Amino acid sequence: MCGIIGYSGHRPAVPLLLKGLKSLEYRGYDSAGVAYIQNKAMEVIRAEGKLSQLESKLDSCNVSIALSGIGHTRWATHGLPVEHNAHPHKDNSGHLAMVHNGIIENFQELREELLAKGHTFSSETDTEVLVNLIAEGRKDNGTLLDAFSWALGRVEGSFAVALTDLNEPGVIYAARQSSPLVLGVGVGENFVASDIPAFLAYTRDVVFLEDGEMVRIDANSWAVYNAATREAVDKKVDHITWDVQSAQKGGYKHFMLKEIFEQPRVIADCLTGRVNGSKEIMLPELEGLEPPKRLHIVACGTSFHAGLWGMHLMESWAKIPVSVEIASEFRYRDIIMDPGDAVLAISQSGETADTLAGLRMVKEQGVPVIGLCNVVGSSIARESDRVVYTQAGPEISVASTKAMCSQLTALTILALYWGLQKGTMAGQDVEQVLSGLSSLPQDLEKALPAIHETAKDLAREYSSARSFLYLGRGLYYPLALEGALKLKEISYIHAEGYAAGEMKHGPIALIDPEFPTFAMALNDGLFPKVQSNLVEVKARNGRVIALTHEGLPLEVDTSWVIPELIEPLNSFLALPALQLFAYETADYLGKDVDQPRNLAKSVTVE
């Protein structure tokens, strides 16, 4: 995920682009850059790190008052977050400069084709391939608009791009396919950007672009075209009434809510390029690495819960013995490692001190470490022998939601990958899971609004509870732990997650009408066991919310029925129910949802 902006108008473009990028920094911040035309040359200034690094660099450049330009803030997908991979990228002639958000899936083959035609590349990015492809297309296709359309027709994947050309100063072209892009219509100035806050200080009139559309702006005009046919498209101008802060949250009240609702897209992004229609899983990151004989998963907090969930899949599909360890414990144990063992370090931020210390400890023993991280170029990602990125995009809210969803997706892919390599999965199971995964983003998208409504109602009903018990078995035990963590973290209501079968060994003493239970009672092989645990709770006058599937016999206070998929994919619908219940409870109680007390997004201390 990256942020892009393009401007043409009557104001100095560079400061305006920087201001716009500042508001897009939530989309990524590992490097940034701008391009503008000065003294008849295309100037591209880029810097590694946060936007402030680019600002300092620009301070020492003699930036003229260019009145148009493009800008980018990056969340690395192809290539390390270093300056030569930062955007904008130029074509070989140096006439075109481009910024891009998204992933071009067939960039490797296009790169080879362009190399054969004599193009050279100075970065590892897919973007540099696209801008050179446009330049190549211009040789045969006349205008830049024609060449742009031709090149877009050749790329597969997702993109929002903005393009500037030395031959047409003051003109910006842009296009979108499965990545956000909006057009801002001003007076004597026009804008394109990944998100409205980037230009909200200058205009509230916007045109929402659709997939397959491209746009040309200059200071005094704008036009939208069908990217394939180049025919003009009639568009409506909408007037925005949001303030800047809520717009950054895409109209959601909090980042947490926005991130919960981003989960369908997160699953799709994590699957992109890894799972295709056939019975094949592509994880080039792990090429040449044998499936481990034994896997030690090391993580903290929500990432630890994801690891516990992944353990079930590794064991049943790939037949790999797995232990899941809390990193702060693991790092101080005398862990016995055998030849063939590997460590999987799971961390959204890639900076968690305990997980990093555990990784360093086993690396000293020569044990191979695979990092499962969200933040590209983070310490854990860099220090692992191999890294699989979860591709969830930046997570702003301290409470981790979409990152866990992406971890579950990546763990599913990893277990399938090793299961297929070892031949331990029945072909029929593989087909079923692959087909379930391909429709999972749509299934979740469809289910989320109703799950949210129920979460709101239940949050109001149960918000006076002082304490909550979360119960689950099998795959739903880690989710019960996660549900309890979310509730305590943001609503400050005490909550405990327990394996449902353990309840009778102690916690049952706590059950009374004031101590509600949130049970994961979904339709898996362990449902009858959970059902009898809940009978035990009801017999002690405990109130029970059961997250369940249609038609399951339960005598509880609230049956919260969610749509049923195949196992283990039901977890992807159960997880947002837990997240939304915690979110709605915290919001109803007036808590600071995105920045709960005493917490930090990255725990870089022991």
What gap in Å lies between CA 556 and CA 375, rounded to an integer?
42
- How far from the centroid of its chain's Cα atoms is residue 479's Cα? 19
Collapsed DSSP state (helix, strand, coil) of residue 184: strand
Whether residue 2 contacts residue 71, with contact meaning beta carbons closer than 8 Å, is answered with no
What gap in Å lies between CA 27 and CA 18, rounded to an integer?
14
From the CB of 271, what's the least distance to ligand M6R, in Å? 20
From the CB of 305, what's the least distance to ligand M6R, in Å? 8
From the CB of 397, what's the least distance to ligand M6R, in Å? 8
| Residues linked to residue 532 through DSSP beta bridges, in sequence order | none
CA angle 304, 305, 311 (to 5 degrees): 90
What gap in Å lies between CA 35 and CA 403, rounded to an integer?
32
From the CB of 353, what's the least distance to ligand M6R, in Å? 9
DSSP for residue 236: P
Stretch (H or E) spanning 472:
strand 467-472
Collapsed DSSP state (helix, strand, coil) of residue 273: coil
From the CB of 398, what's the least distance to ligand M6R, in Å? 5
From the CB of 83, what's the least distance to ligand M6R, in Å? 26
What gap in Å lies between CA 17 and CA 194, rounded to an integer?
12
Whether residue 535 contacts residue 507, with contact meaning beta carbons closer than 8 Å, is answered with no
Closest CA to 189 of 205, 165, 174, 177: 205
From the CB of 410, what's the least distance to ligand M6R, in Å? 13
User: Residue 62 is encoded by which pair of tokens?
Assistant: 């003699």
Residue-wise over 40-60: b if at least 16 C-beta within 10 A, else e?
A: eebbbbbbbbebebbbebbee
For residues 203 and 355, which CB has a smaller minimum distance to ligand M6R in the complex? 355
Q: Does residue 264 have a cis bond before it (omega within 30 degrees)?
A: no
What gap in Å lies between CA 145 and CA 166, rounded to an integer?
14
For residues 88 and 301, which CB has a smaller minimum distance to ligand M6R in the complex? 301
For residues 323 and 595, which CB has a smaller minimum distance to ligand M6R in the complex? 595
- Sheet with 182-185: list strands edge to edge: 41-48, 31-38, 68-74, 3-8, 190-193, 182-185, 205-208, 238-239
User: Residue 49 is encoded by which pair of tokens?
Assistant: 């790190």
287 Cβ contact partners less than 8 Å away, ≥ 6 residues apart: none
544-548 and 517-521 as β-strands: parallel, antiparallel, unpaired? parallel
For residues 132 and 352, which CB has a smaller minimum distance to ligand M6R in the complex? 352
| 373 classed as catalytic | no
For residues 396 and 508, which CB has a smaller minimum distance to ligand M6R in the complex? 396
From the CB of 602, what's the least distance to ligand M6R, in Å? 6
**Residue from 19, 235, 538, 601 carrying the catalytic annotation:** 601
For residues 158 and 303, which CB has a smaller minimum distance to ligand M6R in the complex? 303
For residues 87 and 254, which CB has a smaller minimum distance to ligand M6R in the complex? 254
| 2 classed as catalytic | yes
From the CB of 350, what's the least distance to ligand M6R, in Å? 7
What gap in Å lies between CA 9 and CA 4, rounded to an integer?
17
Closest CA to 422 of 499, 340, 318: 318
172-177 and 213-217 as β-strands: parallel, antiparallel, unpaired? antiparallel
For residues 58 and 575, which CB has a smaller minimum distance to ligand M6R in the complex? 575
| Site for ligand M6R, rule CB under 6 A | 300-303, 347-349, 352, 355, 398-400, 485, 489, 602-603
From the CB of 300, what's the least distance to ligand M6R, in Å? 4
What gap in Å lies between CA 74 and CA 393, rounded to an integer?
10
For residues 489 and 594, which CB has a smaller minimum distance to ligand M6R in the complex? 489
User: Residue 134 is encoded by which pair of tokens?
Assistant: 């446009």
406 Cβ contact partners less than 8 Å away, ≥ 6 residues apart: 266, 267, 269, 270, 374, 390, 391, 392
What gap in Å lies between CA 452 and CA 461, rounded to an integer?
14
For residues 283 and 373, which CB has a smaller minimum distance to ligand M6R in the complex? 373
**Residue from 2, 300, 373, 405 carrying the catalytic annotation:** 2
- How far from the centroid of its chain's Cα atoms is residue 166's Cα? 35
CA angle 601, 603, 606 (to 5 degrees): 165
Residue nearest to ligand M6R (CB): 301
From the CB of 352, what's the least distance to ligand M6R, in Å? 3
For residues 1 and 174, which CB has a smaller minimum distance to ligand M6R in the complex? 1
- Residue written as tokens 């026009």? 190
What gap in Å lies between CA 374 and CA 347, rounded to an integer?
7
DSSP for residue 63: -
Catalytic (active-site) positions: 2, 601
